[in-house]
Amino acid sequence: MEESSGSMRSSKQREEMKKVREKTARKRSKEEEEEQDQDQDQDQIFNFNNKPAEEEEEDEDLSDSEDSVYSGLEDSGSDSEDDEDEEEALDAAADDDEEEEKEEQAQRTEERRRKEGGVTDGKEEQKKDEYEHDSSDEEDIRNTVGNIPMEWYRDFPHIGYDLDGKKIYKPIRNKDELDDFLDKMENPDYWRTVHDKQTGSDIILSDDQVELVNRLQRGQFGDVNFNEYQPSVEFFSKDVMIHPVTNRPADKRSFIPSLIEKEKVSKLVHAIKMGWIKPRRVEDDSRGRYYDLWSTEDSSILAKHKMHLPAPKIPLPGHQESYNPPPEYLFTDEERALWEQQDPSDRKLPFVPVRFSSLRQVPAFPRFIHERFERCLDLYLCPRQRKMRVNVNPEDLIPKLPKPKDLQPFPTTQSLVYQGHSGLVRSISVSPSGQWLASGSDDGSVRFWEVRSSRCMKTVQVGGAVKSVAWNPNPSVCLLAVALDSVVLLLSPSLADRQVVSASERLLSGQDEVEPAEGAGPVTWGEAEGEELNQGIRLRIQHPKAVHQVVWHTKGDYLASVMPDHSSHLQVFIHQVSRRRSQNPFRRNKGLVQCVSFHPVRPYFFVATQRSVRIYNLVKQEMTKKLQANSKWISSMAVHPGGDHVICGSYDCRLSWFDLDLSTKPYKMLRHHKKAVRGVAYHRVYPLFASASDDGSVIICHGTVYNDLLQNPLIVPVKVLRGHVITHDLGVLDVTFHPTQPWIFSSGADATIRLFT
Amino acid sequence: MGGLQKKKFERGSATNYITRNKARKKLQLSLPDFRRLCILKGIYPHEPKHKKKVNKGSTAPRTFYLVKDIRFLLHEPIVGKFRDYKVFVRKLKKAYGKTEWSAVERLRENKPTYKLDHIIKERYPSFIDALRDIDDALCMCFLFSTFARTGKCHVQTIQLCRRLTVEWMNYVIAARALRKVFISIKGIYYQAEVMGQPITWLVPYQFSHDHPTDVDYRVMTLKISQGLFSIYKLSALSASLARVVSTAEEEEAELDQFPEDMEKMEAREKEQKQQEAQKKLFEGLKFFLNREVPRESLAFVIRCFGGEVSWDKSVCIGSTYEVTDETITHQIVDRPNIDQQYINRYYIQPQWVYDCVNAKIILPVEDYFLGVTLPPHLSPFVEEKEGDYVPPEKMKIMALQRGEKPANEEEEEGEEEEEEGEDEEEEEDDDNDDDEEDDEEEEAEEKNLKKMEEQRSQGKSLQVKVTPGKVKVENPARLEQEEKAEEKRLAIMMMKKKEKYLYDKIMFGKKRKTREANKLAAKRKAYDDAEKAKKKKARK
Crossing angle of helices A119-129 and A98-117, in 10° steps, is: 150
- Alpha helix positions (H), A382-453: 394-397
More confident residue, A143 or A466: A466
State residue A538 phi and psi, 5-degree precision: -110, -45
What pLDDT is stored for residue B466 in this prediction?
A: 58
More confident residue, B97 or A686: B97
Q: How much is the average pLDDT of A520-525?
A: 72
Distance, in Å, from the CA atom of A658 to the CA atom of A631, rounded to the nearest integer, reads 13
At residue B494, the 3 state secondary structure works out as coil
Does any CB of chain A come closer than 8 Å to the CB of residue B101? no
ipTM of the complex: 0.75
State residue A700 phi and psi, 5-degree precision: -95, 130
CB atoms near residue A96 (< 10 Å): 15
Q: DSSP letter string over B105-151?
A: HHHHHT------HHHHHHH-SSHHHHHHTHHHHHHHHHHHHT--SSS
Each residue of A595-614: pLDDT tens digit? 888 888 888 888 888 888 88
**Chain B nearest C-alpha distance from A407 (Å):** 12
Nearest CA in chain B to A376: B220
What pLDDT is stored for residue A64 in this prediction?
A: 41
> Do residue A292 and residue B233 have CB atoms under 8 angstroms apart?
yes
More confident residue, B434 or A503: A503
State residue A43 phi and psi, 5-degree precision: -55, -45
Each residue of A695-751: pLDDT tens digit? 888 888 888 888 777 788 888 888 888 888 888 888 888 899 888 888 888 988 888
CB atoms near residue B314 (< 10 Å): 7
> Residues in chain B with pLDDT < 50?
229-230, 233, 235-236, 238-260, 405-438, 461-462
CB contact at 8 A, A636 and A694: no
Crossing angle of helices B497-539 and B410-428, in 10° steps, is: 30
**Chain B nearest C-alpha distance from A235 (Å):** 30
At residue B405, the 3 state secondary structure works out as coil
CATH architecture of B277-379: 3-Layer(aba) Sandwich (3.40)
Q: Which residues of A touch B508 (CB under 8 A)?
A: none
At residue A273, the 3 state secondary structure works out as helix
CB contact at 8 A, A677 and A692: yes
The dihedral sign for the CA sequence B50, B54, B55, B61: negative
| Range of lowest pLDDT (A96-105, A504-513, B92-101, B331-340) | A96-105
Each residue of A740-751: pLDDT tens digit? 888 888 988 888
Residue A71 pLDDT exceeds 50? no
What pLDDT is stored for residue B170 in this prediction?
A: 85
Distance, in Å, from the CA atom of A118 to the CA atom of A112, rounded to the nearest integer, reads 10
A interface test, pick of B117, B127, B150, B184 with most A CB neighbours within 10 Å = B184
Each residue of A39-53: pLDDT tens digit? 444 444 344 444 443
- How far is CA B189 from each of CA A315, A357, A385, A396, B202, rounded to the nearest angstrom? 12, 19, 28, 39, 4
- How far is CA B410 from each of CA A496, B414, B444, B445, rounded to the nearest angstrom? 74, 6, 19, 18
How many Cβ contacts (< 8 angstroms) between chains A and B? 241
Range list of β-strands (E), B256-318: 286-289, 308-311
More confident residue, A227 or B236: A227
- How far is CA A335 from each of CA A339, A353, A524, B512, rounded to the nearest angstrom? 6, 11, 75, 17
Q: How much is the average pLDDT of A202-229?
A: 88
What pLDDT is stored for residue A107 in this prediction?
A: 55
CB contact at 8 A, A673 and A717: no
The DSSP bridge partners found for residue B194 are B197
Residue A621 pLDDT exceeds 50? yes
CB contact at 8 A, B513 and A400: no
CB contact at 8 A, A601 and A684: no
Please, what's the b/e burial string for B117-134 (b: 16 or more CB within 10 A of its CB; e: otherwise)?
Answer: eebbbbbbbebebbbbbb
What pLDDT is stored for residue A112 in this prediction?
A: 53
Q: Across all residues in chain A, what is the average pLDDT? A: 76
What pLDDT is stored for residue B248 in this prediction?
A: 37
Query: Does the global pTM surpass 0.80?
Result: no
Q: Which residues of A touch B523 (CB under 8 A)?
A: 327-328, 332
Query: Which value, in Å, is the radius of gyration of the alpha carbons in chain A?
Result: 67
Nearest CA in chain B to A377: B219
Of chain A, the end-to-end C-alpha distance in Å amounts to 129
Domain ranges of chain B: 13-75, 79-114, 125-243, 277-379
Quick one: pLDDT band at residue A130, thresholds 50, 70, 90?
Answer: low
What pLDDT is stored for residue A368 in this prediction?
A: 83
CB atoms near residue A6 (< 10 Å): 17
Instruction: Please name the residues in contact with B116: beta carbons below 8 A apart, sequence gap of 6 or more.
Output: B40, B78, B225, B229
State residue B247 phi and psi, 5-degree precision: -65, -40
Residue A120 pLDDT exceeds 50? no
Quick one: pLDDT band at residue A118, thresholds 50, 70, 90?
Answer: very low
> Do residue B379 and residue A317 have CB atoms under 8 angstroms apart?
yes
What pLDDT is stored for residue A189 in this prediction?
A: 86
- How far is CA B225 from each of CA A287, B117, B167, B216, rounded to the nearest angstrom? 20, 11, 16, 15
Q: How many CA atoms lie within 13 A of A374 on its CB side?
A: 8
Question: Is residue A580 packed enough to be buried (19+ CB in 10 Å), middle (13-18) or exposed (0-12)?
Answer: buried
- Alpha helix positions (H), A618-751: none
CB contact at 8 A, A575 and A515: no
More confident residue, A60 or A752: A752
Question: CB pairs under 8 A, 24+ apart, for A92-97?
Answer: A92/A126, A92/A129, A92/A130, A92/A133, A93/A130, A93/A133, A93/A134, A93/A135, A94/A13, A94/A14, A94/A135, A94/A136, A95/A14, A95/A15, A95/A135, A96/A15, A96/A135, A96/A138, A97/A135, A97/A138
Distance, in Å, from the CA atom of B204 to the CA atom of B221, rounded to the nearest integer, reads 17
More confident residue, A77 or A348: A348
Distance, in Å, from the CA atom of A15 to the CA atom of A3, rounded to the nearest integer, reads 19
Distance, in Å, from the CA atom of B39 to the CA atom of A378, rounded to the nearest integer, reads 11
* Contacts with A, B 53-72, CB within 8 Å: 63, 68, 72
A interface test, pick of B186, B230, B295 with most A CB neighbours within 10 Å = B186
What pLDDT is stored for residue B222 in this prediction?
A: 57
Query: What single-letter amino acid sits at B112?
Result: P
**Chain A nearest C-alpha distance from B428 (Å):** 27
Nearest CA in chain A to B498: A397
Each residue of A411-431: pLDDT tens digit? 888 888 888 888 888 889 888
Residue A264 pLDDT exceeds 90? yes
At residue B369, the 3 state secondary structure works out as strand
Distance, in Å, from the CA atom of A631 to the CA atom of B380, rounded to the nearest integer, reads 55
What pLDDT is stored for residue A42 in this prediction?
A: 42
CB contact at 8 A, B384 and B390: yes
* Contacts with A, B 189-208, CB within 8 Å: 189, 200, 204-205, 207-208
Residue A91 pLDDT exceeds 60? no
Q: Which residues of B touch A672 (CB under 8 A)?
A: 493
Does any CB of chain A come closer than 8 Å to the CB of residue B449? no
